[in-house]
Structure 1
Amino acid sequence: MKLLTITVPSYNVEKTLAATLDSLCVEEILPKLDIIVVDDGSSDSTPEIAQKYAKAYPESVRVISQPNGGHGSAVNTGIKNAQGKYFKVVDGDDRLDKDGFIALVNGLEKTDADLVASNYKKVLPDGSDAGTMEFTGVEYNKIYSFDEIPVDGTIYFGIHSSTFKTEVLKASGIELQHHTFYVDAEYAVLPIPAVKTVLFLKDCVYLYTVGAAGQSIDMANFVSRYDDHLRVVKRVASFANECDCSDKHREYIYSAAAKLCFTQYMLAAFYDENLERGQVRARSFDTWLKGDPKLYNALAKSLYIRFLRATDFRFLPRSVKLKSAVRAVSRAFKRLTGRKKLTY
């Protein structure tokens, strides 16, 4: 049995896949790795590049080609075919830091935690540093029971930081949606009820490329794929209500769902350049969310959301940066109502 399966969802990544696989095929630890490149119906030379690595490292690299099903489908395929004790996703346009990667593998050999969470870095396409994402409020190299983890909105087990025990993923029955962007949010939530223990590691392992043209997180693309994100939000919100889990697990899931809901409001009410469409979307989403009073009231903690609700989403600020949006909203509220505070 291999120690770690790394699944590489790959769709038309001929420009970046070699760099990704070079960062995974680290000589010192390669015998412990099960690397699965899932070619998700690519129309470029992605499968040929992947096959070169499979031939060079036949004991550690495999290629699975499938009809295009989207990122979620590729991750599902990786989980079903995993041979490692642990499982990690590395996209075909990202990389792993060598030292951090070795430290992760060494850590996995010494633990039996259900989830190993490590820090990661954002990098620009030219390789320059764009910021480090770190866990705070926890002790590194300590195994926590899930009930010991603070659930205050600061802890989030995103796809770039998470290495799950494979049997936990399979026991959870996780099945990400096909042909849908942003299912990484499902990956961060659906296995959680099966997670009993968590180990936090300080080393930065994942190098997450940001700022590349055409990325799903580009705001114009984000807005155009509003319905994809909405499907993910609705699935996570439904899961929060229906999953069989402890109160602490449910609290974490609700916290993650609230973050997704806030993003959904922002896509409609702040980032959509089509004001009329944004208003319709925001009102529709708000009406839907009323069906979940816990989430609806959780979003009321945001001054921005409360103001938008109070004005029936007629005031959709533009030409201000997100960080100054609350100040802009507050000033506008005073002008419109004469009241100093936005309260119900």
Structure 2
Amino acid sequence: MSEKLLSICVAAYNSEQYIEKMLGSVLNASSIDDIEIVVVNDGSSDNTAGIIKRYVNMYPDIIVGINQDNKGSGGAWNNAFKNATGKYIKTIDSDDMVNTENLDLYVARLRSIDSDMIINPHYTEYTYKKKSILTNNLGIAEGEYNIAAFLPYEDISMHDVTYRNSPDILGQLEFMEHVSYGDMEYLTIPIKNIKSIYYVDIPVYIYKIGIEGQSISPLISIKKNDQRIAIANKIINYRNINRHSNDAYKWVNNQVVRMLKCVVLDYCNSGSYAYKNDIKKYDLLIKDMDQDLYKIMNEDKIIRLLRITDYNYYYCIILAKKIKNAIF
């Protein structure tokens, strides 16, 4: 296999309905000779392994297929990253895809970039609405920046980030196995090693919302709150024992706070009056875990009102949503 510019790493579990469309969106790029696809079958029980094998046989110079026992997306990404050989590395979920034409433009831009990290917008596709919107178009000029320039943009996601594939950047990134929300590890663990970030105004990733079983749905996310806490604890401990610049420290805090606030919003979007005590317990757990994060979260109006009212404001939120749904 010739040297590649970009390694696209894919964690696949029971993805027989989606993975061919995802692979096709990459393989149809005219820049495919510069791309390597490393796809890990994470112990699927459907025909995902068979589909991957067929594509490896069809594209042996492009696709690296790996089978492993089930370890969750984190374990699959660990395996993919260890086998990726491209100059740059990016992840794609097996039920998402890329904009093929924009991928070509992006690869062309990568040829002239030599930064540690690249940030670019993505598309969010709401499958149930059949609607796609541009997400995280930062409105800044293309070019190279430092971390401080991106601190105001707290919603930057895994879909927006590409890293230089170097031990100096990714050497300490080891995803937790059997845990969701590894995107937070991806966004935070390497950041202390980042010296340059290039912003490219080309949306590539198409993130699909509304697929059955996604961990993003509120009721599923609530069941995985312990996983979010585990991820947060890991990141905080890593932040505390490894020297970070002030800007890298702020970046880590912003990302962890964003994840923790999502838990509160999931409770508020559940449609159930039953979770008031759960929110209170969760919030006090954050306070015990890290005082700085607890204080930062208080800047959010909803969380501040919840705390001021001993979390009784939660009932107002649920009632307002029920009235809105009844009217509209």
TM-score, structure 2 length as denominator? 0.90
Paired residues for 1:37-116 under 5 Å: 37-116=39-118
The 8 Å contact of residues 143 and 199 in structure 1, kept in 2 or not, is answered as yes
The 8 Å contact of residues 168 and 191 in structure 1, kept in 2 or not, is answered as no
Among candidates 301, 304, 316, match of residue 303 of structure 1 = 301
When structure 1 is superposed on structure 2, of 79-88 and 117-126 the one drifting more is 117-126
In 2, distance between residues paired with 1:241 and 1:295? 13
Distance 1:171 1:132, change over 3 A: closer
SS of the residue corresponding to residue 22 of structure 2 reads helix
Paired residues for 1:228-239 under 5 Å: 228-239=227-238
In 2, distance between residues paired with 1:27 and 1:251? 37
Cα deviations across residues 20-63 of structure 1 (Å, max 9, x unaligned)?
A: 11111135222211111100000111111111111111111111
SS of the residue corresponding to residue 166 of structure 2 reads helix
Report % sequence identity.
Answer: 25
Match of 1:206 in 2: 205
Aligned partner of 2:259: which letter? L
The 8 Å contact of residues 128 and 210 in structure 2, kept in 1 or not, is answered as no
Match of 2:151 in 1: 151
* Structure 2 unmatched runs, 5+: none
Paired residues for 1:271-310 under 5 Å: 271-272=269-270, 275-276=273-274, 278-291=275-288, 292-310=290-308
Aligned partner of 2:297: which letter? L
Number of aligned positions between the proteins: 318
When structure 1 is superposed on structure 2, of 157-166 and 40-49 the one drifting more is 157-166
The 8 Å contact of residues 135 and 155 in structure 1, kept in 2 or not, is answered as no
In 2, distance between residues paired with 1:231 and 1:274? 25
SS of the residue corresponding to residue 113 of structure 2 reads coil
In 2, distance between residues paired with 1:130 and 1:10? 23
Distance 1:289 1:125, change over 3 A: closer
The 8 Å contact of residues 122 and 132 in structure 1, kept in 2 or not, is answered as yes
Cα displacement (A) at 1:184: 1.2
Paired residues for 1:216-295 under 5 Å: 216-268=215-267, 270-272=268-270, 275-276=273-274, 278-291=275-288, 292-295=290-293
SS of the residue corresponding to residue 35 of structure 1 reads strand
Cα displacement (A) at 1:6: 0.7
SS of the residue corresponding to residue 254 of structure 1 reads helix
In 1, distance between residues paired with 2:171 and 2:280? 34
Match of 1:335 in 2: none
The 8 Å contact of residues 13 and 93 in structure 1, kept in 2 or not, is answered as yes
The 8 Å contact of residues 154 and 255 in structure 2, kept in 1 or not, is answered as no
SS of the residue corresponding to residue 93 of structure 1 reads coil
Cα deviations across residues 232-287 of structure 1 (Å, max 9, x unaligned)?
A: 2333333343332111111111111221221223334x2455645x2333222222
The 8 Å contact of residues 29 and 101 in structure 2, kept in 1 or not, is answered as no
The 8 Å contact of residues 114 and 168 in structure 1, kept in 2 or not, is answered as no
When structure 1 is superposed on structure 2, of 227-236 and 177-186 the one drifting more is 227-236
Match of 1:177 in 2: 176
The 8 Å contact of residues 18 and 95 in structure 2, kept in 1 or not, is answered as yes
TM-score, structure 1 length as denominator? 0.86
Cα displacement (A) at 1:130: 2.6
Cα deviations across residues 167-192 of structure 1 (Å, max 9, x unaligned)?
A: 05754410111111122122111111
The 8 Å contact of residues 168 and 195 in structure 1, kept in 2 or not, is answered as no
Aligned partner of 1:177: which letter? M
Aligned partner of 1:90: which letter? I
Distance 1:107 1:155, change over 3 A: farther
When structure 1 is superposed on structure 2, of 22-31 and 87-96 the one drifting more is 22-31
In 1, distance between residues paired with 2:38 and 2:211? 24
In 1, distance between residues paired with 2:167 and 2:141? 23
> What's the RMSD between the two structures over aligned residues?
2.2
Distance 1:105 1:214, change over 3 A: same
Q: Which one has a bigger Cα radius of gyration?
A: 1
Cα displacement (A) at 1:310: 2.2
SS of the residue corresponding to residue 288 of structure 1 reads helix
* Structure 1 unmatched runs, 5+: 325-344
Cα displacement (A) at 1:139: 1.4
Distance 1:302 1:212, change over 3 A: same
Paired residues for 1:25-44 under 5 Å: 25-26=27-28, 28-44=30-46
The 8 Å contact of residues 168 and 194 in structure 1, kept in 2 or not, is answered as no
When structure 1 is superposed on structure 2, of 65-74 and 228-237 the one drifting more is 228-237
Cα displacement (A) at 1:164: 0.7
SS of the residue corresponding to residue 39 of structure 1 reads strand
